[in-house]
Structure 1
């Protein structure tokens, strides 16, 4: 059954003059990738190493910037026609996915007609642009350097690049805590989820995830005017992050067990018991596990929109909320090992089932 479906897709894509290879990545998942040069393992590890060495490329035509610009244009276009409710939000998602993936398929078809290595190169660059591990590390280390130097203004400035809260009320400890919260939450959204979808469906599904993630960031708010319009993006993002968020908790806990200086038992138990304290089904897994592994307390009080919000604290009640600057490089190290562990598991599964 799976083979017949796969063959029909191949025939359809070939009719569009697109060179396609169909490989099963994991237990019956048919990967439709538009490059036939190289192996999935080579692509995945090359993407990871490029990100680790060079960080996120900064240029005008970055894929996320292009997706964001397209989203803004489509949002205005839909609103001008009165499509500002649930249906409009669904149309926004379908249009975004159709345009982004359509452009990708057309580009890959053209490049593969020239030589498959060109298509592979585009996949490599796109994947590298859509992974955010090193970028998170760089921003975290900038806050760490500022707080180590007791430079409060610089620490606030750098923390503002990571968090969406008001930073003008933060002291040095608050900057450290906000950085830990952002690094732990975004490990799932910016690293584990892209790798997860890259493994299951190649660059097309990685792109699809980033489209949905960008929708959630730009319109997925629970207030007017996006309460209805942003519903689809927010729910789709919850769905696509569901498994990676829980994998993040597991990888952080195992990494805390392997590495000295962390509390693996607390990472596992706090992650399991306190993840639901955060809004949404996914945000709390990484933050709660990180709080347990580092033996600190996170979230709690924070300033947003000029008001002090009192949230539930994550972490063991007897641990301190006075987070030192040394916790930032500790979490960066833990995140990197968790990502490496996830990649090793992915590689083993691909080697077994491919």
Structure 2
């Protein structure tokens, strides 16, 4: 079992490794393996359990316990191999559980395409980031979708796995990643997954609850560092954070909207059907391509502030 100071050091190393290396496309990412595992359990339990909600609960629990079991075995074996291998293994597990550089790279590809006036390519890139129709998006729609995705995934893709890593070690980070993948795959409000994915969606809400609220403070600090409106990040985060259908995603989107002085939310299309999301923030500024860059800068600083704060607490606990 790692001490508090040691886990802070391991998390900082994993974070820096991700910023430098990112997620190389040629390397088989473990999260893809998690997705395959979840699909196998879904097929198995849908056949074995007729009640959709119960089948979904069984799928989620079996996936979580299997994934955690495998990572705990790996951590145990690395511990037997020695301190160095234990640290390397822990760093790699946390590194695979976060994705700040990958998130920034995806968003900046959208901006680069917009800078070149290639709206078709920009729509293609943004389609990898959001679960909505992108074929007929205007430039402002593309920018809004990208900023919203960066804001939401600051919590889902960085802060939450880091929070659970600080709290439960590397197994906590990977456990969260399994929960988040469960929600991504099954937490849809459609006929196929409304009942089956209910437990996965609720589990994800619980796992993100505390990190999202800590993240609001980190967003405000980052806004101050970046010379943006930190007071408005807090104000809009508190005022509009609960307007979103998700109890957690709205907080990060509202904090981002407040810091940048823009308005997010509004009408989107999913499979041709219009969905009117609540408006978040105030339209003090017209959506601009530069807001994508600023959103990425905010995401990276927010993540860094979170890591530094958590590591400082770990050192304090050590003494």
TM-score by length of 2: 0.95
Query: Within 2, Cα distance between the matches of 1:297 and 1:84?
Result: 42
Q: Answer yes or no: is the 8 Å Cα contact 1:150–1:172 preserved in 2.
A: no
**Corresponding residue for residue 331 of structure 1:** 295
| Residue 302 (structure 1) shift | 1.5
The number of residue pairs the alignment matches comes to 318
State which drifts further: 65-74 or 246-255.
246-255
2:284 to 305, 319, 324: 319
1:290 to 256, 260, 263: 256
**Corresponding residue for residue 12 of structure 1:** none
Query: Within 2, Cα distance between the matches of 1:345 and 1:353?
Result: 12
Query: Within 2, Cα distance between the matches of 1:306 and 1:125?
Result: 41
1:113 to 62, 80, 86: 80
Q: Answer yes or no: is the 8 Å Cα contact 1:57–1:129 preserved in 2.
A: no
How much is the aligned-residue C-alpha RMSD, in angstroms? 1.6
Query: Within 2, Cα distance between the matches of 1:166 and 1:216?
Result: 20
Query: Within 2, Cα distance between the matches of 1:281 and 1:170?
Result: 26
SS in 1 for 2:195: helix
**1:79 corresponds to 2:46:** yes
Deviations 1:136-171 (A, max 9, x none): 100111111111111111111111111111111112
Query: Within 2, Cα distance between the matches of 1:56 and 1:130?
Result: 11
**Corresponding residue for residue 243 of structure 2:** 277
**Corresponding residue for residue 95 of structure 1:** 62
Query: Using CA pairs below 8 Å that are at least 6 residues apart, which structure has the higher relative contact order?
Result: 2
Deviations 1:229-287 (A, max 9, x none): 21111111000100111112111112212322x11121111110111111021110010
| Residue 87 (structure 1) shift | 2.1
| Residue 60 (structure 1) shift | 6.2
| Residue 351 (structure 1) shift | 0.8
| Residue 98 (structure 1) shift | 1.8
**Corresponding residue for residue 244 of structure 1:** 211
Paired residues for 1:64-213 under 5 Å: 64-213=31-180
**Corresponding residue for residue 317 of structure 2:** 353
SS in 2 for 1:170: coil
| Residue 331 (structure 1) shift | 1.4
1:268 to 215, 231, 234: 234
Query: Within 2, Cα distance between the matches of 1:96 and 1:42?
Result: 29
Query: Within 2, Cα distance between the matches of 1:237 and 1:83?
Result: 24
**Corresponding residue for residue 307 of structure 1:** 273
| Residue 74 (structure 1) shift | 0.6
Query: Within 1, Cα distance between the matches of 2:64 and 2:191?
Result: 24
Query: Within 2, Cα distance between the matches of 1:255 and 1:104?
Result: 33
1:46 to 13, 23, 37: 13
Query: Within 1, Cα distance between the matches of 2:98 and 2:64?
Result: 19
**Corresponding residue for residue 15 of structure 1:** none
Query: Within 1, Cα distance between the matches of 2:78 and 2:158?
Result: 28
Query: Within 2, Cα distance between the matches of 1:83 and 1:203?
Result: 35
Structure 1 spans left out of the alignment, 5+ residues: 1-20, 26-37
